[in-house]
């Protein structure tokens, strides 16, 4: 079962960060790059990950192993559902330096075949209103741009240092 008690946002009043890119790869391939430890490691290159592709499975991407447990990355995040090759929703949390670290939001990735490859649409939603929520949302507005740029570079053959 998925514990939804940590998800603060609900209803039509939640706010979202929306990003979209196109990559030169098949939708099944790009989807697979998000849903396994090997896939994530191939382009995002986190310190570690714990991904279980099942409803309620772990979706933990650890950015550093040095901080104490609970402050390393997306610990405690879960797979909400999935449609192979088409969509991948999961819960997500704020980084440890933000006040709403313990309050989850959710991300919905959709993958659509285009003439040039695949359109990847990322909707990070569940943001409420107030200064702490504004900081949470602003952080991910920049962070997801960076992450999707890493994905684009992976499929274009460009190195992260380019």
Q: Is residue 157 a contact partner of residue 39, using CB atoms and an 8 Å limit?
A: no
Asked, for residue 37, whether it belongs to a domain, the answer is yes
Asked, for residue 126, whether it belongs to a domain, the answer is yes
Q: Is residue 80 a contact partner of residue 89, using CB atoms and an 8 Å limit?
A: yes
Task: Tell me the two tokens of residue 153.
Answer: 């570079």
What is the C-alpha separation between 88 and 109, in angstroms, rounded?
Answer: 5
Average pLDDT over residues 125-153: 97
Asked, for residue 8, whether it belongs to a domain, the answer is no
Task: Tell me the two tokens of residue 114.
Answer: 């285009």
Query: With 80 as the cut, is the pLDDT of residue 158 above it?
Result: no
Domain count for the chain: 1
Asked, for residue 10, whether it belongs to a domain, the answer is no
Asked, for residue 28, whether it belongs to a domain, the answer is yes
Spatial neighbors of 105 by CB under 8 A, at least 6 apart, are 7, 8, 9, 91, 92, 93, 94, 124, 125, 126, 127, 136
pLDDT band at 160 (very low <50, low <70, confident <90, very high): very low
pLDDT band at 129 (very low <50, low <70, confident <90, very high): very high
pLDDT band at 3 (very low <50, low <70, confident <90, very high): confident
Q: 21-76 pLDDT, tens per residue?
A: 999 999 999 999 999 999 999 999 999 999 999 999 999 999 988 888 887 889 99
pLDDT at residue 79, rounded to an integer: 97
Asked, for residue 20, whether it belongs to a domain, the answer is yes
Asked, for residue 162, whether it belongs to a domain, the answer is no
What is the C-alpha separation between 53 and 80, in angstroms, rounded?
Answer: 10
pLDDT at residue 94, rounded to an integer: 94
DSSP class per residue in 130-152? SHHHHHHHHHHHHHHHHHHHHHH
pLDDT band at 1 (very low <50, low <70, confident <90, very high): low
Q: Which residues pair with 120 in a beta bridge?
A: 21, 111
What is the C-alpha separation between 92 and 85, in angstroms, rounded?
Answer: 21
Asked, for residue 29, whether it belongs to a domain, the answer is yes
Percentage, residues of the chain above pLDDT 90: 81
Is pTM beyond 0.85 here? yes
Domain that holds residue 122: 15-156
Q: What is the CATH number of the domain that holds 74?
A: 3.30.530.20
Average pLDDT over residues 1-6: 79
pLDDT at residue 109, rounded to an integer: 98
């Amino acid at each position: 079962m998925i514990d939804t008690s940590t998800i603060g946002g609900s209803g039509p009043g939640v706010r979202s960060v929306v990003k979209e890119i196109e990559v030169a790869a098949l939708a099944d391939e790009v989807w697979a790059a998000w849903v396994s430890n090997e896939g994530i490691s191939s382009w995002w290159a986190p310190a570690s990950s714990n991904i279980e592709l099942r409803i309620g499975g772990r979706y933990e991407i650890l950015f550093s192993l040095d901080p104490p447990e609970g402050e390393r990355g997306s610990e405690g995040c879960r797979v909400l559902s999935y449609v192979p090759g088409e969509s991948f929703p999961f819960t997500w949390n704020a980084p440890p330096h933000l006040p709403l670290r313990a309050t989850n939001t959710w991300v919905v990735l959709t993958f659509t075949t285009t003439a040039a490859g695949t359109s990847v649409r990322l909707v990070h939603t569940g943001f409420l209103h107030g200064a702490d929520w504004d900081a949470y949302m602003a952080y991910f507005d920049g962070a997801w741009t960076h992450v999707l740029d890493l994905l684009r570079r992976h499929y274009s053959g460009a190195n992260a240092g380019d």
